[in-house]
Amino acid sequence: MSSTLELAKTLLSLPSITPDDKGCQTLLAARLAALDFKITHYPSGNVSNLWAKRGNQSPTLCFAGHTDVVPVGDEKAWLSPPFSPTIRDGKLYARGAADMKSSIAAMVTACERFIQQHPHFKGSLAFLITSDEEGPALDGTQAALKALKQIEQIPEWCLVGEASSKDKLGDTIKVGRRGSLTGHFKIFGKQGHVAYPDLAKNPIHLSLRSLAAIAEIEWDDKDTIFPATSLQFANLHSGFGANNVIPAMIEGNFNLRFSPKTTPEMIKQKIEGILMAHGLTYELQWVLSGKPFYTQDDSKLIQVITNTIEKNMGYKPIHSTAGGTSDGRFFAEYDTEVVELGPNNASIHQVNEWIDLKELEDLSNLYEAILTDLFI
Ligand SMILES: [Zn+2]
């Protein structure tokens, strides 16, 4: 068994559902300490965060990852137990196999081989590993970066190991993400009997036009880097189940994935403007969970990773900003150049999550080649 596969299997056998790290980080710390990484733990709340750094020369490449996994879901639908990593037909099955314990294992063994060959390379390597990427992500990478900022250890480059590939390893790298903004709203009326509407105020009737107007807003156009901003209603609720009561309130929420062309302030103004123009009595709470970010094409990190993939895999990666948020957004706030490169994302968060065994070895070799091309 290769040492990447062995380490992946060890990590995958620990049931580290967010935010419980279940010892994954202690195990990684020991492995990295043996390579002269300096280990610091930054626990926050019930979240474990591991910072491991080797060297004091800039630039620093930080591998960002998470040891937590999402819950297993329908356990009966798994063909093998989710925390007993199992090989079938050339694939390794377990919760976290693609998202993202395999990438962590691949980078650890890549560093082992790279450091053995180039112990005195110019630059530094780091790992920032959290157990709260799949959860609220408040006590994870964000908290650790605050602590690192205070000791002036913010890395210049960040490679996020999230599963970015679509059909072939490295066919897609993520170079940015849209922002994410949620609006939680309540629109008020007056409860009453459906037979006496003049004594009540129906919040459903009152709000329909304004909600439709909000859904129909065209925010901006897509460009070569970002898809267009989109708003989706995710929840809408009113009424008590009875057919003879006009409810007092309608409530719900919508989420926007927005490109840098549209700011949170523009979004808030426009939506509040619509609600006010319709004369509604409402409450609206905004939660901004990520600003958009983008690492420019002329960044050395992007150029090296793009060229290394082309050289080693025989094809050029697509530079994408699609998909959900990742912890890359927290690094971007400190002007770190961020790229995401990891395995096939077809099975993430699903039952019977897997990574292809050859892809696992290829990923580790690709990470090693990137280290060589960046530092040597
Ligand atoms: Zn992930």
167, 30: one domain: yes
Contacts of 318 (CB under 8 A, 6+ apart): 171, 172, 173
Predicted pLDDT at 11: 98
Q: Which H or E run includes 25?
A: helix 24-33
152, 215: one domain: no
> Among 290, 319, 338, where does a domain finish?
290
Q: What is the pLDDT along the chain (376 residues), one digit of tens a residue?
A: 999 999 999 999 999 999 999 999 999 999 999 999 999 999 999 999 999 999 999 999 999 999 999 999 999 999 999 999 999 999 999 999 999 999 999 999 999 999 999 999 999 999 999 999 998 888 999 999 999 999 999 999 999 999 999 999 999 999 999 999 999 999 999 999 999 999 999 999 999 999 999 999 999 999 888 999 999 999 999 999 999 999 999 999 999 999 999 999 999 999 999 999 999 999 999 999 888 989 988 999 999 999 999 999 999 999 999 887 789 999 999 999 999 999 999 999 999 999 999 999 999 999 999 999 999 9
In this structure, what token pair is assigned to residue 14?
Answer: 């620990």
277, 356: one domain: no
**Is 133 an annotated catalytic residue?**
yes
Residue 349 — left, alpha, or beta (φ > 0 → left; ψ -120 to 50 → alpha)? Answer: left
**Is 251 an annotated catalytic residue?**
no
- Rounded CA separation 353/364 (Å): 19
- Among 21, 68, 134, 162, the active-site one is 68
- Rounded CA separation 227/108 (Å): 34
Quote the ligand 1 centre to 117 CA distance (angstroms): 30
Quote the ligand 1 centre to 233 CA distance (angstroms): 25
173, 91: one domain: yes
Could you give the 3-state DSSP secondary structure of residue 249?
strand
74, 164: one domain: yes
Domain around 255: 179-290
Contact 222, 228 (CB under 8 A): yes
Number of domains in the chain: 2
- Among 20, 99, 132, 133, the active-site one is 133
- Rounded CA separation 224/335 (Å): 22
Quote the ligand 1 centre to 374 CA distance (angstroms): 24
Could you give the 3-state DSSP secondary structure of residue 52?
strand
> Among 239, 271, 290, where does a domain finish?
290
- Rounded CA separation 274/185 (Å): 13
Quick one: 286 exposed, middle or buried, by C-beta within 10 A (0-12, 13-18, 19+)?
A: middle
Contact 363, 169 (CB under 8 A): yes
Complete edge-to-edge strand list for the sheet that includes strand 49-54:
38-41, 49-54, 124-130, 60-66, 157-160, 337-340, 172-174, 318-320
Helix axes 203-215, 264-277, angle to 10 degrees: 140
Contact 332, 78 (CB under 8 A): no
Contact 32, 108 (CB under 8 A): yes
- Rounded CA separation 208/206 (Å): 6
87, 153: one domain: yes
> Among 262, 290, 318, where does a domain finish?
290
pTM of the model: 0.85
Quote the ligand 1 centre to 363 CA distance (angstroms): 16
In this structure, what token pair is assigned to residue 242?
Answer: 């009875």
Quote the ligand 1 centre to 162 CA distance (angstroms): 5
Predicted pLDDT at 290: 86
Which DSSP state fits 165?
B
311, 271: one domain: no
- For tokens 């082309």, the residue is 310
9, 128: one domain: yes
Quote the ligand 1 centre to 66 CA distance (angstroms): 7
Contact 247, 238 (CB under 8 A): yes
Comparing CA positions, the residue from 218, 287, 295 lying closest to residue 253 is 287
Quote the ligand 1 centre to 249 CA distance (angstroms): 37
254, 335: one domain: no
311, 223: one domain: no
- Rounded CA separation 149/330 (Å): 12
173, 184: one domain: no
220, 360: one domain: no
CATH number reported for the structural domain that contains residue 326 in this entry: 3.40.630.10
Predicted pLDDT at 311: 97
In this structure, what token pair is assigned to residue 65?
Answer: 């990852």
Q: 10 Å Cβ neighbour count for 2?
A: 13
